[in-house]
Structure 1
Amino acid sequence: MPSLRDITTWQPLLRLLHAAHADTLSAPGGHVAGQIGPGGWSVPLPYRPPQPGRSALISDNQEDAIGLIVEALKKDGSDGVSFVVEVASAPGRVRLHLIEPSSSVEPGVATAHPGTLLLADGALPEPVRRLPDPVPGAAPAASADVDLLRRTLRERLQDAVGASEEELAAAEARLGVTLPPELRALYQVVRGRYEDWDDLRDPYDTIGCELFPLSEVYVADAASREVLWQFGAMDAVETGPEHAVQQLVGSPGWIVFGDNGGGDRIAVDLTPGPDGHLGQVIIIGHEGNIGAGLVADSLTDMVVHGHFDGRPVPKVERPPLVAYVNRASLPSIEAAAHPGLEVLSIGVWEKEPLSLAPVFDLPRLRTLSAYPGTLADPCEISRLTHLEYLELPPAEWRVLLDAGAVPTGLLAAGIDAHRQRDNPLHMIALANEILTLYGRPPITGITVLEGAAF
């Protein structure tokens, strides 16, 4: 089996990288970087077919070359490795830096640069921490009819096997919640075990979703929906009076019992929004970080009456909790500022750099992200006393570090490095300065190997 720290494991990939980036690697300070994990990789290589007249070699095929490294990762039980390739001092040789995961860093997405710096133990983005608001007076919809639901299911699924009272009680004990009456009635008729269905038949057409076995029903709380800091910090939870479903990351009242066949979860909702009903059916998308949509006002409404589209949500204009200031969106920071603002993102900007003065006193501003050169004075960031997450380019971080103006209350931080221009090794040095300020362990898992470039 290949070893991750053996240069021969990397040699086929190094040859491909050198052939594809010879000019870059020969330039002063030139480097090539990437990331490889057991389930995927981001490596800057074009596809190159084998030369005519001879068999393909491992050095021709990037999937085979990367496959050697994936096997080494699996052997070591590693979640992944980032790498940086530079030219060594000896002619025809390269220096390979292997960067292993750090407990102080949330892995980046498809990049060798450091991901989010975790500046406090166990800290989570504010949307992930958000619990559902109480909705006094929430009640089941008028369409909810346990007897009608049970009777209809028995008529349509005459050969179905239902769950026993012991099985239902065991599920409730495992979940830590009492199953709502309609969901309990559903499983009393059909327990959802795969072995109960002959000829690959299942109750999809009758129920309206792929029904999970009772043993696989789960609570879709916030922990069930993995949200990286770099995405969660840029989102905001906003549930208005017009919403039937609270727009949360997850809720202890979302009981998932099925799937739509495309990875989106179907759940009964026990923590509805202001315009919702207790026990309504919702869909939790697998591509988003926040929110869920209404499917039907009740399980009876979905199963018996075939309603799957919910109700339209009225359009209500209100100041955005997440504001984007750039050449195509809001024209100024003044236009973004209001007391409820939580996230400010400053993007591509072709005018004079901006002052943060209009948002100095905003009580809920917890996230700031800024594009290179957009801030007139990066040290103004120290006036934003409620910041939890700060994402800046390297130059702006350098200004804050040199001035001793890095905010003290951050929970996480991001370095917005350009993938090609900024050497990940330099970004790691910068990241370690920030981590040291917060008393966090630095990034130290770097192994340096040297080998032939071709």
Structure 2
Amino acid sequence: MVDQTPPLPSIHDFATWEPVLRLLRVGDAEGQASPSVRVAGRIGRHGWSLPLQRRLPSPGRAAQVEDMRDEFEAVKRVQHALADVGVDDISFAAEISPTGKTALRLLGPSPAVEPGIGTPDPGVLILVEGALPEPLRRLPDPVPGAVPAPSADQDLLERTLRERLPDAIGATEAEITAAEARLGVTLPDELKALYQVTRARWEDWGDDYEAAERESMAVGCELFALDDLYIADASSRHCHWEFAAMEAVVTPPDAAVQGLVGSPGWIAFGDNGGGDRLAVDLTPGPRGHTGQIIMIGHEGNVGASLVADSLTDLVMNQRSKRRGGSGGDQPPAVAHVNIRSLPSVEAAAHPGLEVLSIGVWDSAPLSLAPVTELPRLRTLAAYPGTLADPLEIAELTGLEFLEVGPEDWRVLLDAGAVPRSLSAAAIKVHGNQDPLPIVAIANELLALWDRPQIIQTVLEGDLSPMP
């Protein structure tokens, strides 16, 4: 771990952190008998995670903003300092003596670390610069026989929309050409017909909310302006490494939609009003139609659902009766071994396994021997204490992501057995552990790949004794 003298920006001024530390000291002192207080947390520009015991409101009374005002104001002070130096997120750990003498350690950030969520521990260590998890790298498979649905009818579509939206302002050929140049794709005929009727610009409605509502009813979704069309490829669907690495792209042979994170052939043109995006699909699944309408859910990381066989069907409110592919009897590419799912590593093993997750386990630790020869296994996540022999991990020569506990990483590091195939890694922490030893392990891993370290900046101050 690397120490450095605090620089000038206010995020490195102890006074910036005093209100947060005082709140944490009070909360910790109320719950522990130890005279010395150790606290840790994470604060970002858009959220925070602090180990505070918030008082419940009295019976019959809802919680009020005023109940957390001290916390809000203390955190806002740090958030402003983060914004001043252009930092999105920072973890910290502090030790506060009974006299109030305090050593505060700011942890990071590092360009080689993707911050975790809700924990002061390091997030995902990006061991290879620019590396992406396999699902984000996947492109659509070609489907040579795919054709538009029989229901696709640009003339009917345009005629229907003009009847429903007689006063709408349509896009010119020049505007459509400009949109195609920006997107790098030729718009399909149905989508062109839609925007030739309405370009869906807010200024065209003259701030008339009812006009906007009528357009949504006429089209069947909240239509994006022509200028806001975008390609819903994998990069448009942000997902943290630790979550994306646990997914698998699977498209059954009877699927209408490919099970991708995103596709260069998904043209997003609207929203369902709840954050799910509607797109024209130019790269359908084996049983799909070119130009079908799909919905990209905002809560999932992969795949999309079929909504209508064509844009004409969407406007005519003819939803598709086809369902997604079932996958038949193929074993899953993602397997979960824990007290409620699969009962053993043997039960998870098959040649198509890509992701193995070992969760809470109340029996003897597990051997990885049944999966060491699997050709596609790329992700292993194992809860601390569940592996009989962490050195078996070295036999998994195709791993690109590994998440195990600090003790397991210690075994691998001491034996020089960390898999060199890794692109990213994470340290799974159980309970509220001191983040400083975890950061030390993280820096050892980063050093193996000659990646930037997590810098520890030490600030000292005095909170004075508690009254």
Summarize the alignment of residues 28-427 of structure 1 with structure 2, pairs less than 5 Å apart.
31-48=38-55, 61-88=70-97, 91-198=99-206, 199-200=208-209, 201-202=211-212, 203-304=215-316, 306-308=317-319, 311-313=322-324, 315=326, 316-420=328-432, 422-427=433-438
Distance in 2 (alpha carbons) for counterparts of 1:232 and 1:57: 38
Question: What SS does the corresponding residue of 2:364 show, helix, strand or coil?
Answer: coil
Q: In the alignment, is the contact (CA less than 8 A) between 2:384 and 2:429 conserved in 1?
A: no
Instruction: Provide closer, same or farther for how the CA distance between residues 116 and 442 of structure 1 changes in structure 2, counting only shifts above 3 A.
Output: same
Question: What SS does the corresponding residue of 2:10 show, helix, strand or coil?
Answer: coil
Instruction: Provide closer, same or farther for how the CA distance between residues 291 and 177 of structure 1 changes in structure 2, counting only shifts above 3 A.
Output: same
What is the TM-score of this pair, normalised by structure 1? 0.94
Q: Deviations over 1:167-192 (max 9, x none)?
A: 00000000000000000110011101
Q: In the alignment, is the contact (CA less than 8 A) between 1:220 and 1:256 conserved in 2?
A: yes
Q: Deviations over 1:432-453 (max 9, x none)?
A: 1111112212112534332315
Residue equivalent to 1:53: none
Q: In the alignment, is the contact (CA less than 8 A) between 1:58 and 1:64 conserved in 2?
A: no
Q: Deviations over 1:249-272 (max 9, x none)?
A: 110000011111111111100000
Distance in 1 (alpha carbons) for counterparts of 2:129 and 2:421: 13
Distance in 2 (alpha carbons) for counterparts of 1:81 and 1:100: 6
Distance in 2 (alpha carbons) for counterparts of 1:126 and 1:356: 22
Instruction: Provide closer, same or farther for how the CA distance between residues 151 and 371 of structure 1 changes in structure 2, counting only shifts above 3 A.
Output: same
Q: In the alignment, is the contact (CA less than 8 A) between 1:58 and 1:65 conserved in 2?
A: no
Distance in 2 (alpha carbons) for counterparts of 1:3 and 1:164: 52
Residue equivalent to 1:444: 455
Residue equivalent to 1:18: 25
Q: In the alignment, is the contact (CA less than 8 A) between 1:119 and 1:413 conserved in 2?
A: yes
Distance in 1 (alpha carbons) for counterparts of 2:415 and 2:34: 33
Question: What SS does the corresponding residue of 1:19 show, helix, strand or coil?
Answer: helix
Give unpaired runs (5+ residues) of structure 1. 51-55
Residue equivalent to 1:7: 14
Q: In the alignment, is the contact (CA less than 8 A) between 2:309 and 2:319 conserved in 1?
A: no
Deviates more, 1:428-437 or 1:64-73: 64-73
2:396 partner letter: L
Q: In the alignment, is the contact (CA less than 8 A) between 1:294 and 1:310 conserved in 2?
A: no
Q: In the alignment, is the contact (CA less than 8 A) between 2:105 and 2:456 conserved in 1?
A: no
Question: What SS does the corresponding residue of 2:253 show, helix, strand or coil?
Answer: coil
2:437 partner letter: H
Q: Deviations over 1:109-152 (max 9, x none)?
A: 11110010111011100000000000111000000001110111
Distance in 2 (alpha carbons) for counterparts of 1:253 and 1:81: 38
1:345 partner letter: S
Q: In the alignment, is the contact (CA less than 8 A) between 2:25 and 2:96 conserved in 1?
A: no
Distance in 1 (alpha carbons) for counterparts of 2:363 and 2:412: 23
Distance in 2 (alpha carbons) for counterparts of 1:289 and 1:396: 29
Q: In the alignment, is the contact (CA less than 8 A) between 1:25 and 1:32 conserved in 2?
A: no
RMSD: 2.1
Q: Deviations over 1:246-305 (max 9, x none)?
A: 11111000001111111111110000001110000011111111111111000001102x
Distance in 2 (alpha carbons) for counterparts of 1:45 and 1:348: 26
Question: What SS does the corresponding residue of 1:31 show, helix, strand or coil?
Answer: strand
**Shift of residue 36, structure 1, vs aligned partner:** 1.0
Q: Deviations over 1:308-335 (max 9, x none)?
A: 4652235333201000111111111111
Instruction: Provide closer, same or farther for how the CA distance between residues 236 and 58 of structure 1 changes in structure 2, counting only shifts above 3 A.
Output: closer
Deviates more, 1:35-44 or 1:357-366: 35-44
**Shift of residue 28, structure 1, vs aligned partner:** 8.8
Question: What SS does the corresponding residue of 2:80 show, helix, strand or coil?
Answer: helix
**Shift of residue 4, structure 1, vs aligned partner:** 1.7
What is the TM-score of this pair, normalised by structure 2? 0.91
Distance in 2 (alpha carbons) for counterparts of 1:59 and 1:336: 46
Q: In the alignment, is the contact (CA less than 8 A) between 2:268 and 2:278 conserved in 1?
A: yes
Distance in 2 (alpha carbons) for counterparts of 1:20 and 1:226: 35
Deviates more, 1:183-192 or 1:23-32: 23-32
2:379 partner letter: T
Distance in 2 (alpha carbons) for counterparts of 1:133 and 1:328: 35
Distance in 2 (alpha carbons) for counterparts of 1:348 and 1:299: 46
Identity of matched residues, %: 59
Residue equivalent to 2:3: none
Q: In the alignment, is the contact (CA less than 8 A) between 1:239 and 1:273 conserved in 2?
A: yes
